Amino acid sequence: MSNPSEDVEVKVASEGAQNFIDSYYAALNSTGARTGLTKFYIKPTPTAPAEADISMNGNVFANPSELQDLFEKQVTKAQYDVHSFDCQVINRNYNVGADESMLGPDKDGKKMSLLVLVSGAVKYGEDGDERGFTESFILVPNWDALGPKAPKGLKKFLVASQNFRILV
């Protein structure tokens, strides 16, 4: 096995980022779907005990549940609009949290970690002003979705780091 070719790398990365952005912001924009917000994030395991690192406007969240809580209780309504995003591969063979049997490279790009930078506008509440935001994510493989026996329909990438800023 070998690492993915550059073509595969770029294709899988941009598709992964696109899928993530489409579903993540849709979840933030719908009051009903926010209850599933934690599902976008990595979960601590014995081999990789760290929670996702979430920093929003300089506020550090201890874990994704805290963020979900904020969105469920404080954010009555939100409308995020993504104007642009870009994505680069960080590590073609990311192994944090991977099972020992999976340490080798994957030519299909399923083991990549990604850096995604998003720029857009957000409106909170009914009469909120349109604010500009920039958000960067580190996406890493969802180990539960890899392997021949993995259930279908799981998210392929999960958030390991998130840095959000209202800028305007």
Partner 1 sequence: MMKRNAAPPTGPRNGSSTIRSKGGIQKRRNGPVRVDKDGDLDMEATNEKSKAGKGRLDAPSSSRGAKAGRGGNAQPRNSLVTQKAQQAILRGLSTDQASIRESRISKGNVYLKVDGLKSSKAASNPDGGIANLLSFLERKAKPVNPKSSKKVKIKKSSKDGDSVIITTSEEDSEAILKLNGFNFAGSDLAIQITTAPKLSSHGKKGEKKEVSDETKELQDKLKGILSSRYDTSLKLLNLSNLGADPGLIAIGIFNETTEDVSKLFPALMKVCDSIFTTKAQKREAIVSVSLADNSLANVSPVTTLAQTFPDLKNLDLSRNMLSDRRALEAWRWKFRKLENLVLTGNPIETSDPEYGPDLVRWFPQLQTLSGIQVRSPEEVAEIIEKAKSPIPIRGADFRDISQVAENFLRQFFTLYDTNRPQLAAAFYDNDSQHSISVNTAAPRGANNSVPTPPWADYIKHSRNLTKITHAPAKMARRHKGVEAIQKLWSTLPATRHPDILTQSEKYLADCHTLPGLPDPTGQSPYGVDGLIVTIHGEFEEDANSISGTSLRSFSRTFTLAPGAPGGPQIRVLNDVLLIRAWAPLATPTHVTTPPPLVNDQQKASIFAKLVEMTGMTPQYAELCLNDTAWNLEQAFVAFNNNKDKLPANAFLAPGTTLQGLMP
* Binding region for partner 1 (CB under 8 A): 6-7, 10-11, 14, 17-18, 31, 48, 50, 53, 55-60, 70, 74-78, 82-96, 103, 113, 115, 117, 119-121, 124-132, 134, 136, 138, 140, 160-161, 163-168
Nearer to partner 1, 73 or 151 (CB): 73
Nearer to partner 1, 146 or 153 (CB): 146
Q: How far is the CB of 131 from partner 1 (least distance, A)?
A: 6
Q: How far is the CB of 23 from partner 1 (least distance, A)?
A: 15
Q: How far is the CB of 33 from partner 1 (least distance, A)?
A: 13
Nearer to partner 1, 2 or 57 (CB): 57
Provide the token pair at 135.
Answer: 């958000």
